[in-house]
Amino acid sequence: MRRSSFIRPEAGAVLRRWREALAGLAIALLGLYWIFGTSPGLLMWVGYLTLAIGGLLSFAGLQKGRFRHGGGGPGLVQIVERRIAYFGPLDGGIVDLDALTSLTYDPTQKPAHWVLTHQGGAPLHIPVTAEGADALFDAFASLPGLAPGRLAAVSQSADTLPVHLWHKATPAARIARLH
């Protein structure tokens, strides 16, 4: 038996894409209510804290929402303990985040792909529309020196050429940064 919903599937997809931003907005609105809707006191100060937390969650949610392309594409992405696994219909592979040497966004393929180059293997190509690919945002954002805003911007851009986003610093470059 199929469960029916009073929300159209397209509207549900939009709500799922922006869910973190909407949750942050709701928390911020609660903070505003506590600031302006109550008498001065402890709850008003908690409202300021709640407003700040809601604003930060909204900002992070907007970045994640811009990164998402929806599912339904070829393959499945799973991330477990800093290990990215892609199981596709024609290929796939597993890459440890610590073994990653470079990250590229390739819009020339249909759909666009994330290209993960790593030590000791062929590059792993992951379609941006693969099921579970939205979890890659948090994994990629943990790479040193890669700004989450850049991930969101490149995945929404109209570039037609591959964009090299990140490469692992060599030991000599890390030592030079220290001095």
Can you tell me the mean pLDDT for 89-106?
A: 92
| CATH hierarchy code of domain 76-178 | 2.30.29
Nearest to 81 by CA among 120, 139, 125: 139
Which segment of 19-23, 48-52, 107-111, 149-153 scores lowest on mean pLDDT? 149-153
User: What's the confidence (pLDDT) of residue 50?
Assistant: 96
Phi, psi dihedral angles at 115 (to 5 degrees): -110, 115
Q: What is the DSSP string of 110-154?
A: SS-EEEEEETTSPPEEEETTSBTGGGHHHHHHTSTT--HHHHHHH
Better pLDDT: 1 or 161: 161
Can you tell me the mean pLDDT for 125-147?
A: 90
User: What's the confidence (pLDDT) of residue 160?
Assistant: 83
Decide: helix, strand or coil at residue 4: coil
| Alpha carbons 143 and 161: distance in angstroms, whole number | 23
The model's pTM is 0.69
Tell me the domain boundaries of the chain. 9-67, 76-178
* Cβ neighbours of residue 15 closer than 8 Å, sequence gap 6 or more: 7, 22
User: What's the confidence (pLDDT) of residue 101?
Assistant: 94
Better pLDDT: 52 or 172: 52
Q: Summarize pLDDT for 4-42 with one digit per residue, the tens.
A: 678 888 787 788 888 889 999 999 999 999 999 888 889
Spatial contact of 56 and 24, defined as CB atoms under 8 Å apart: yes
- As given in the structure block, the two tokens for residue 89 are 């219909």
The 124-127 sheet, strands edge to edge:
124-127, 113-118, 100-106, 163-167
Q: How confident is the model at residue 138 (pLDDT cuts 50, 70, 90)?
A: confident
User: What's the confidence (pLDDT) of residue 49?
Assistant: 96
Can you tell me the mean pLDDT for 144-171?
A: 85
For helices 148-156 and 42-67, the axis angle rounded to 10 degrees is 40
Q: How confident is the model at residue 147 (pLDDT cuts 50, 70, 90)?
A: confident
